Structure 1
Amino acid sequence: MRRGGWVKPVLTAAAAAFAVGALGSLMTDIGPWYKGLAQPAWKPPDWLFGPAWTLIFAFAAASGAVAWRHAPDRGSREWLLVLFSLNGFLNVLWSLLYFRLRRPDWALAEVVVLWLSILVLMGVQARYSRRASLLLLPYLAWVAFAAALNWATVRLNGPF
């Protein structure tokens, strides 16, 4: 990649992160159904989720840009796009299942696949840039926490 070729990958990664965040936000409805769910005592306040996801998506965008910059060829960069696209789809799908379809039980099964998609993405990125891979650690940790919260919600409220 030519020197100074950061603009396109940074703008693309930022736009993709914004799109995934916006779609996930559109799927998220914390209305009466959600507020009526029994939640574990350790659940963070609802206002914390927006800033947490914003920070996570910023790290993910930076991760994508760094990996893109360090990928050795076009095929590697296309593979990164496929993996990020799959991960973004799975991220939005979780919100759709949990909030729109009101199926935390289905979302619980799906969050395992989402978490694995982050792990695979980190593994592929590590081939090109350890830093890019490490930038996804907050995302991996947050999704693991979200999975535990999802499990507790299913346990406290099921069956759905």
Structure 2
Amino acid sequence: MSKKEKIIISLIGLVLPTVVGVIAGKIVGANGFMNTYENQPLIMPPAFIFPIVWSILYALMGLAFFMVLNSEEDCQNIKIASFVFLLQLALNFIWPIIFFKLQLCGVAFLTIALLWMLIFINVLIFSRINKCAGILLIPYLLWVAFALYLNLSICILN
């Protein structure tokens, strides 16, 4: 791969998580997030917190992916890391659609549980390539653990 191609791919990797998040948000719609389920858990952040947190997390994800794509690591390891990252990003994209738009709470719970596992694996893989890149994904892992709790609580309450 030429240096120019690597730069282009790295820049795409930097912005890709944010683009995916924006598209999923547009599909769900601004009013679709918190008004979907009548009964909410006791520990529920105010609605305005979610876009702020997700914006920060998408930026961290993009930066972590950028760092991995620009590492001097073996090409095969970068391919594996990229595959896992893109797989978890795909689940990140479909979860809000399943949970909010389709209102399939149980399917959404299974999806976000799988997402959490893939993020955990992603943290381990990224850390082997670039320790800082792995650390940058830890807030994402923790937030999705909290979202997993919210998803389960909402399923039980509704």
TM-score of the two chains, using structure 2 as the length reference? 0.87
Question: What is the identity percentage for the equivalent residue pairs of Structure 1 and Structure 2?
Answer: 26
| Alignment deviations for residues 104-152 of structure 1 (CA, whole Å, 9 cap, x no partner) | 1211111110000101111111111111101000000000000001111
Instruction: Quote the Cα distance in structure 2 between the aligned partners of 1:147 and 1:53.
Output: 15
- TM-score (normalizing by structure 1): 0.86
Q: Secondary structure, in 3 states, of the residue corresponding to 1:132?
A: helix
Which residue in 1 is equivalent to 2:123? 122
Matched-pair contact (CA < 8 Å) for 1:18–1:57: yes
Distance 1:49 1:134 in 2: 21
Partner Cα distance (2:12, 2:32) in 1: 33
Is 1:134 matched up with 2:135? yes
Query: How far off its partner does 1:11 sit?
Result: 1.5
Asked if 2 retains the 8 angstrom alpha-carbon contact of 1:39 and 1:153, the reply is: yes
Q: Which residue of 1 aligns with 2:53?
A: 52
CA 1:128–1:153 in structure 2 vs 1: closer, same or farther (change >3 Å)? Answer: same
C-alpha separation in 1, matches of 2:33 and 2:154? 15
Contact 1:67 1:125 in 2 (8 A): yes
| AA of the residue aligned to 1:50 | P
Whole-angstrom CA distance in 1 between matches of 2:83 and 2:10: 17
Match of 2:15 in 1: 15
Cα distance in 2 for partners of 1:102, 1:21 equals 18
Aligned equivalents of 1:33, 1:53: Cα separation in 2: 15
Displacement after TM superposition at 1:66 (Å): 1.4
Q: Alpha-carbon deviations, 1:27-83, whole Å to 9, x = none?
A: 334349835521012100111100100000111111111122225122222222211
The question of whether the paired residues in 1 share the 8 Å contact of 2:32 and 2:101 is answered with no
Runs (5+) with no aligned partner, structure 2: none
User: Within 1, Cα distance between the matches of 2:138 and 2:33?
Assistant: 33
Instruction: State which drifts further: 98-107 or 65-74.
Output: 65-74
Report the RMSD for the aligned CA atoms in angstroms: 2.4
SS at the partner of 2:41? Answer: coil
Counterparts of 2:34 and 2:43 in 1: how far apart (Å)? Answer: 20
Structure 2 equivalent of residue 28 of structure 1: 28
Structure 2 partner of 1:77: 78
CA distance in 1: counterparts of 2:33 and 2:155, whole angstroms? 17
**Which ranges in structure 1 are unaligned for 5 or more consecutive residues?**
none
